[in-house]
């Protein structure tokens, strides 16, 4: 009886393995994003800590197949890489670099100086001297370690308000507005072989864009290097600001900078504010109207999402001489931060791969955009 059971188990396993292999075959006949756009721009994705650890083999296959640029979603942010004063945890970032080298991909470091996701000790700093010490040590230590190992750094993230004025962050308040130029100067010294970027959301919108241009000019006028500007690209279905994006690509590029779309996702759920400030929350009643697509996207929204992505990629292709990279903020819908922000526990569908890692209609429309 035992023997029969073990034979049955072996047969079941064999059948299951064959089915998995078949499934895998099915996915490998899909087009690859990085191949399709290889003459145009890099195609990136943000990787979660688990994906960097290669914990999910299906995710890993989709990543290796489609992307040639990797941004760590969280692990290089200061709260993770320097959790205590002077104590660094480089293990996940080193693993990411190793993974990228093994697969011939590049890495974008995200991010050196940002007011969010700071370690607790830094948030508690009240004196200018202590903050300047943290600022200098953090940049020197982290940027120098990854020079020649990563392609570029988001040196400063989100320094601006919506009206283009400087955000009153801890850095602005204690170090003054010159802190942005100083961050680029320090990174340039610590990582002379690494590209340096300024990154923000909504910096395609006219007022914020004007502030962003002013900020970039200050860096350039100080004789400090800045190589690129990142437009995060957290947009909303049916409301993609194509005109503003195009104007921004042209204006940023006219400053001599590479333009990058760095955190692309197209949200489908209701929202009562714009932007992507991770500290902003939306309080909502327990009303199912605020989480309408728990069982999947209706065809009309799926189609709108696909059309929006197609329009975006048509625009990116039109300006491929100015755009060096388009990075999605996550590999599939299940991973997206938009399931938890700005309202926890919703079911969002903002990316090209669904929760099962299957390409969505938007994926095929993006591929078609290239063919047209």
Give the residue numbers annotated as catalytic, written as ranges: 158, 263
278 interacts with ligand XIL by CB under 6 A: yes
Judged by CB under 6 A, which of 51, 66, 73, 93 binds ligand XIL? Answer: 73
Binding mask 80-119 for ligand XIL (x = CB under 6 A): ----------------------------------------
What is the closest distance, in whole angstroms, from the C-beta atom of residue 14 to ligand XIL in the complex?
A: 39
79 interacts with ligand XIL by CB under 6 A: no
Nearer to ligand XIL, 157 or 194 (CB): 157
Nearer to ligand XIL, 73 or 333 (CB): 73
What is the Cα–Cα distance from 64 to 103, expressed in whole angstroms?
Answer: 7
Nearer to ligand XIL, 33 or 47 (CB): 47
Judged by CB under 6 A, which of 45, 66, 106, 157 binds ligand XIL? Answer: 157
- Please give the residues from 222 up to 251 whose contact with ligand XIL meets the rule CB under 6 A: 232
- Please give the residues from 279 up to 298 whose contact with ligand XIL meets the rule CB under 6 A: none
263 interacts with ligand XIL by CB under 6 A: yes
What is the closest distance, in whole angstroms, from the C-beta atom of residue 263 to ligand XIL in the complex?
A: 6
74 interacts with ligand XIL by CB under 6 A: yes
What is the closest distance, in whole angstroms, from the C-beta atom of residue 4 to ligand XIL in the complex?
A: 49
SS3 sequence of the chain: CHHHHHHHHHHHHHHHHHHHHHHHHHHHCCCCHHHHCCCCCEEEEEECHHHHCCCCHHHHHHHHHHCCEEEECCCCCHHHHCCECCECCCHHHHHHHHHHHHCCCEEEEEEEECCCCCCHHHHCCCCHHHHHHHHHHHHHHHHHHCCCCCCEEEEEECCECCCCCECCCHHHHHHCCCHHHHHHHHHHHHCCCCEEEEEECCCCCHHHHHHHHHHHHHHHHCCCCCCEEEECCEEECCCCCHHHHHHHHHHHHHCCCEEEEEEEEEECCCCCCCCCCCCCCCCCCCCHHHCCCCCCCCHHHHHHHHHHHHHHHHHHHHCCCCEEEEEECCCCHHHCHHHCCCCCCCCCCCCCECCCCCECHHHHHHHHHHHC
153 interacts with ligand XIL by CB under 6 A: no
Nearer to ligand XIL, 302 or 348 (CB): 348
Nearer to ligand XIL, 252 or 337 (CB): 337
Please answer whether residues 352 and 308 qualify as being in contact, where contact means their C-beta atoms are separated by less than 8 angstroms: no
198 interacts with ligand XIL by CB under 6 A: no
What is the closest distance, in whole angstroms, from the C-beta atom of residue 116 to ligand XIL in the complex?
A: 7
207 interacts with ligand XIL by CB under 6 A: no
What is the Cα–Cα distance from 74 to 83, expressed in whole angstroms?
Answer: 13
Nearer to ligand XIL, 157 or 324 (CB): 157
Judged by CB under 6 A, which of 337, 353, 357, 363 binds ligand XIL? Answer: 337
What is the closest distance, in whole angstroms, from the C-beta atom of residue 154 to ligand XIL in the complex?
A: 7
Residue 223, burial from CB neighbour count under 10 angstroms (0-12, 13-18, 19+): exposed
Nearer to ligand XIL, 37 or 114 (CB): 114
User: Would you tell me which residues interact with ligand XIL (CB under 6 A)?
Assistant: 73-74, 157, 232, 263, 276, 278, 337
């Amino acid at each position: 009886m035992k023997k029969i059971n073990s034979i049955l188990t072996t047969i079941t396993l064999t059948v299951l393995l064959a089915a998995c292999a078949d499934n895998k075959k099915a996915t490998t006949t899909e087009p690859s994003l990085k191949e399709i756009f290889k003459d145009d721009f890099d195609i990136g994705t943000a990787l979660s800590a688990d994906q960097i650890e290669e914990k999910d083999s299906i995710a890993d296959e989709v990543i290796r197949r489609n992307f040639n640029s990797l941004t760590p979603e969280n692990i290089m942010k200061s709260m993770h890489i320097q959790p205590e004063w002077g104590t660094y945890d480089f293990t996940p970032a080193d693993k990411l670099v190793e993974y990228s080298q093994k697969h011939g991909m590049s890495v974008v470091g995200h991010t050196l100086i940002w007011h969010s996701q700071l370690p607790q000790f830094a948030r508690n700093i009240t004196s200018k001297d202590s903050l300047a010490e943290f600022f200098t040590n953090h940049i020197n230590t982290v940027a120098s370690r990854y020079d020649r190992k990563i392609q570029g750094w988001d040196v400063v993230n989100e320094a601006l308000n919506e009206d283009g004025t400087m955000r009153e962050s801890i850095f602005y308040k204690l170090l003054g507005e010159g802190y942005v130029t100083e961050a680029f100067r320090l990174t340039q010294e610590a990582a002379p072989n690494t590209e340096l970027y300024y990154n923000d959301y909504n910096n395609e919108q006219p007022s914020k864009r004007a502030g962003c241009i002013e900020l970039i000019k200050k860096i350039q006028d100080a004789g400090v290097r800045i190589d690129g500007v990142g437009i995060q690209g957290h947009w909303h279905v049916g409301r993609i600001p194509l005109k503003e994006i195009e104007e921004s690509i042209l204006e940023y590029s006219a400053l001599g900078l590479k333009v990058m779309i760095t955190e692309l996702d197209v949200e489908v759920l209701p929202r009562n504010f714009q932007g992507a400030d991770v500290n902003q929350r939306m309080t909502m009643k327990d009303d199912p109207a605020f989480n309408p697509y728990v069982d999947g996207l209706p065809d009309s929204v799926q189609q709108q999402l696909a059309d929006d992505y197609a329009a975006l990629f048509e625009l990116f292709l039109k300006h491929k001489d100015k755009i060096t990279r388009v990075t999605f903020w996550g590999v599939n819908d299940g991973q997206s931060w938009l399931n938890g922000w700005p309202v926890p526990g919703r079911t969002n569908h903002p990316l090209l791969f669904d929760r099962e890692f299957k390409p969505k209609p938007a994926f095929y429309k993006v591929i078609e955009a290239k063919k047209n």
